[in-house]
Amino acid sequence: MSVVSALILSRRPASAFVVVGLFWGCFAAYVPVIKAQMGVNDAQFGTLLLGSAFGLVSSMFLAPRVDRLLGERGMQVAAVLLAFVWLFPAQITTPVVFFAVFVGVGLCSGLLDVIMNARVSELEGRTGRSLMNGNHAMFSVAYAIGALVVGAAREGGLDPLWVFGAMGIVTLLIATQLRIHVDTVEPADGIRGRFPLIPILICGGIVLVAFMSEATVEAWAALHVERTLGGGAAEGALGPAMLGVTMAIGRFSGQVVSEKLREVSVILWASLISASGAIVAALAPTPMVAYVGFGILGLGVSVIGPMGLALVGKLVAAHHRTEAISKAAVMGFSGFFLAPVLMGYASQAFGLRVAFACVALLLVTAVPLSLLAARLRATIKAG
């Protein structure tokens, strides 16, 4: 029952995670359509996706100011903006315009990502409960639902505008429930202390590895199944959907595990498990084997990002927690935009099989980062 109680306790930010998951799940399954209507190759499409990275960088600077300005309505406003901006990418056939619009997508998505993770971190500090995995699981559930909906919509020939419009209406309904109290924590005795840069860099690196790996599968799984393995539209959509389902299972399980085991141990083993899944997907001879690989990858990578965000919240002072979480989250979320770009160039040069093998190498880098985090935590406790 710890999962249920955690979701009830954090139901408002969890709803924001649902909003983000729905839209990115829809986009992932529409990638083959969007790419084809612009007539670009893998490397060019990956470059166009880089537009969202520029938006994300902007959100890193804007989110703290917007959060302070809007306070308890921050998630509401960010969710509505995200729903509006997602109406445009799937309707655009000009690459330059698509790039510009995707800057807006990155900005709005990054803004909501930072604010909702900060709210979860505040709830963790206030209640003493581990809540990150449960909330990120809701993103995965919504992502899988979005991908499956699009799979059915594509088979039926439904225009993307109708799907994204429907998701926008759902978002407006959810937004009515996103108003939440915001904590303001002052430093003890008026002393701020040194800004915790090293914990942010280490934990942000862990989150970056996780989200880069996740984003790669989200953006390119459908193409891998359809182009490399000869699957149809519905089979292609099932690739990212499989990732979303297994990530949801992994994160719900991680919600229980996080209350029993140390974050560092979970991150270490999860990175090795997810790397093995990436290898299976890269070598898969059929879509079914690829689904198995995506599933293993999803189970492992699902807990790495949330654990990294939870870990940075425990390595910094309470009055630094929200800002530290925000900066680590922005580092991590940049992976959602950088990974598809790098994947595009790797695919263009060597093919999607080699590109997915590179994901396995990326995941292994979380091992030394987790060991650095363990040493830092031991040093803090000793001090």
pLDDT in the model for residue 383? 57
340-380 pLDDT tens trace: 678 778 878 888 898 889 889 999 999 999 888 888 877 77
Q: Which structural domain range is residue 264 located in? A: 11-181+195-377
Length of the chain measured in residues: 383
Residue 1 lies in a domain: no
209, 227, 234: which is closest to 333 by C-alpha?
209
Task: Report the SS3 class of residue 130.
Answer: coil
121, 115, 120, 42: which is closest to 75 by C-alpha?
115
Q: Which of 249-258, 284-293, 342-351 is modeled with the greatest confidence?
A: 284-293
Residue 283 lies in a domain: yes
**Looking at the 3D structure of the chain, how many domains does it have?**
1
Residue 3 lies in a domain: no
Say if residue 373 is exposed, middle or buried (CB neighbours under 10 Å; 0-12, 13-18, 19+): buried
Residue 173 lies in a domain: yes
DSSP state at residue 226: I
pLDDT in the model for residue 169? 92
Residue 188 lies in a domain: no
Least confident among 88-92, 175-179, 287-291: 88-92
On average, the pLDDT of the chain sits at: 83
Residue 383 lies in a domain: no
Q: What CATH number is associated with residue 369?
A: 1.20.1250.20
Structure token pair of residue 238: 């099932």
89-138 pLDDT tens trace: 888 888 999 999 999 998 998 889 888 988 887 887 788 777 888 888 88
pLDDT in the model for residue 360? 92
Would you say 52 and 105 are in contact if contact means Cβ atoms under 8 Å apart? Answer: yes
Give helix 352-364 / helix 366-382 axis angle, nearest 10°: 20
Residue 6 lies in a domain: no
Q: Name every residue whose Cβ is closer than 8 Å to that of residue 174 and which is 6 or more positions away in sequence.
A: 15, 16, 18, 19, 79
